[in-house]
């Protein structure tokens, strides 16, 4: 059965949002792989049931801040706070690394950002970090803004900033401040209300040992400070 067909068996909100169709596209190559999957925010467990049926060889861990009174065969359900690094470290001590991380948790910008900062180093190369329901980035109660779309601490603008970490080497931009994710993200795929972030070494197109800045390059760079 396809992921879409499996999804129809369970009333997960991922069906209503259209996320299941996207997951089919991004997960199909990993279906038969021995991978570790972490999902933050599990509601009534329907998405975990979907993953369990689709990924027959995966280790699957679901996390929720609310304690759950149900069990799912061959799924590890943990009770904890996604913004608590001590709790997240306890997961790393068990699983070491993950290949898929899905953040469908509180949707609070500060929680999305803190979870990403902590967990991304434990995502394997070619792994996928997914952030769902990014429409909440525009809601003030989730740390966003409907008026200031450039609000730095919103979840959407955090993900947008990660795009710079892919492209900064291409341009010798003045005032650019390198961050810890530079060179570690291969691609980011935006869809309505969801982003798929692929981990992997980016190619250094511009800054390399063979590049020598000419006098003309230096003049252009100086002028770019003002224009």
Reading the block at residue 210, the tokens are 């063979």
> Catalytic residue among 79, 107, 111, 189, which?
107
Judge contact between 137 and 194, C-beta under 8 A.
Answer: no
Strands 185-191 and 194-199 turn out to be antiparallel
Which one, of 118, 72, 127, 73, lies nearest residue 98 by Cα?
A: 127
Query: DSSP code of 167?
Result: H
Containing 186, the helix (H) or strand (E) segment is: strand 185-191
Strands 59-64 and 36-40 turn out to be parallel
R_g of the chain, CA atoms, integer Å: 20
Catalytic site includes residue 191? no
CB neighbour list of residue 105: distance below 8 Å, 6 or more residues apart: 40, 41, 63, 64, 65, 82, 111, 112, 115
As annotated, the active-site residues are 107
């Amino acid at each position: 059965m396809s992921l879409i067909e499996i999804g129809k068996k369970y009333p997960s909100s991922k069906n209503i949002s259209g996320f299941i169709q996207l997951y089919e596209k991004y997960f199909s190559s990993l279906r038969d792989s021995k991978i570790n999957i972490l999902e933050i925010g599990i509601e009534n467990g329907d998405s975990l049931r979907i993953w369990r049926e689709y990924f027959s060889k995966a280790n699957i861990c679901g996390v929720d801040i609310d304690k759950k009174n149900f069990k799912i065969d061959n799924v590890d359900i943990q009770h904890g706070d996604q913004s608590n690094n001590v709790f997240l470290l306890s997961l790393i001590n068990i699983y070491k690394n993950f290949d898929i991380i899905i953040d469908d948790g509180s949707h609070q910008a500060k929680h999305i950002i803190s979870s990403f900062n902590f967990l991304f180093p434990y995502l394997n190369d070619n792994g996928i970090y997914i952030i769902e329901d990014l429409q909440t980035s525009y809601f003030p109660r989730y740390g966003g803004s409907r008026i200031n779309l450039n609000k730095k601490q919103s979840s959407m603008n955090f993900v947008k900033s990660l795009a710079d970490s892919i492209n900064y080497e291409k341009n010798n931009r003045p005032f650019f401040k390198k961050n810890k994710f530079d060179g570690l993200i291969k691609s980011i795929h935006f869809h309505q209300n969801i982003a798929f972030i692929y981990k992997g070494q980016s190619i250094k197109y511009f800054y390399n040992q063979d590049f020598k800045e000419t006098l003309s390059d230096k003049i252009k760079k100086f002028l770019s400070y003002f224009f």
